[in-house]
């Protein structure tokens, strides 16, 4: 990294940082470089200082992510708690940086009397991750409310883009390559008189049906068209099934639970086993929602 004598970084740089400390499965080998930027300006400086051949990975709350046991060769950027601006800009418009948790966005919308943002309370990640995958919960999806985004490229340059510049699908967002979301402006309707937030009810339903409090990544597989991954996995007899100490949740079959002695290799093997069993029983090819990154040990 060309830093000495040329640029001054104000964020925190960690070398060989264990990513098990930063993922919701509590798994993953070390990152060569793990950077927590001081703010957006500092992030621009950091990206511009990296050699061209250094790969970049972003981690928010570490959900929806399986980091293999060999870790990450390259640089990991961690905006959580750093890129955390959230503010209302005009009627119904909310500007949010990528390090803000989705739960915080839901609470902000509720406090401002805005409707349509409650579902964000059910997404266990940051706004940056939600933008990258069109995350959703309780029938809501992130990009239904996006009006514009701010992107940053590999050289630290910022570009504003409209929502129409992206192709959006179920848990899929296609747009410019080698650019990442650093902020977005959402448009929400103002809540009608007497209309109450249903955040508490949504969270109650989530707690009743999902293994909250146990190490998981959230939903492992995308729902196939016209069906639910959890239904197929349970119908294949895999609810509660374990490989090593990685287990399909006995509460929700689309969750895989880890424990203190679980390895990322255990989880990846169980993911493969579930896909194979569902394919054999039902002829359905489950697609992973979780991203699998890094090197094997």
Point out the residues that are catalytic.
Answer: 171, 219, 289
Q: Tokens 């929700």, residue?
A: 252
Q: Tokens 């070390």, residue?
A: 30
Contact 130, 101 (CB under 8 A): no
Task: Please state at what angle helix 102-111 crosses helix 199-209, rounded to 10 degrees.
Answer: 150
Contact 277, 81 (CB under 8 A): no
Q: Tokens 């068209």, residue?
A: 225
Task: Give the separation between CA 248 and CA 88, rounded to whole angstroms.
Answer: 41
Contact 254, 210 (CB under 8 A): no
Contact 29, 65 (CB under 8 A): no
Residues 6+ apart with CB under 8 A from 280: none
Q: Tokens 């992107």, residue?
A: 151
Task: Give the separation between CA 85 and CA 128, rounded to whole angstroms.
Answer: 12
């Amino acid at each position: 990294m060309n830093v000495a004598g040329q640029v001054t970084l104000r964020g925190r740089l960690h070398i060989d940082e264990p990513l098990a400390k930063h993922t919701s499965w509590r798994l993953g080998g070390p990152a060569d470089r793990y950077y927590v930027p001081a703010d957006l300006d500092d992030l621009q400086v950091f990206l511009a200082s990296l050699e061209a051949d250094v790969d970049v990975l972003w981690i928010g709350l570490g959900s929806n992510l399986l980091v293999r046991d060999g870790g990450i060769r390259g640089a990991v950027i961690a905006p959580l708690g750093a890129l955390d601006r959230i503010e209302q800009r005009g009627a119904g418009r909310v500007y949010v940086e990528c390090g803000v948790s989705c739960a915080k966005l839901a609470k902000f919308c509720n406090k401002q009397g805005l409707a349509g943002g409650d579902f964000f309370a059910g997404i266990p990640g940051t706004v940056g991750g939600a933008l990258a995958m069109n995350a959703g919960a309780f029938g809501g999806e992130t990009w239904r409310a996006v009006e514009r985004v701010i992107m940053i490229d590999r050289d630290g340059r910022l570009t504003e883009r409209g929502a129409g510049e992206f192709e959006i699908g179920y848990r899929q967002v296609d747009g410019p390559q080698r650019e990442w979301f650093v902020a977005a402006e959402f448009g929400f309707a103002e809540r009608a008189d007497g209309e109450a937030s249903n955040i508490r009810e949504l969270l109650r339903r989530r707690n009743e049906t999902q293994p909250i409090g146990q190490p998981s990544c959230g939903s492992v597989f995308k729902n196939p068209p016209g069906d639910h991954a959890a239904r197929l996995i349970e119908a294949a007899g895999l609810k509660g099934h374990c490989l090593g100490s990685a287990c399909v949740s006995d509460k929700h079959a689309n969750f895989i639970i880890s424990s203190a002695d679980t390895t990322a290799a255990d989880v990846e093997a169980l993911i493969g086993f579930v896909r194979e069993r569902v394919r054999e029983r039902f002829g359905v090819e489950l697609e992973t929602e979780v991203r699998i990154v890094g090197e094997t040990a």
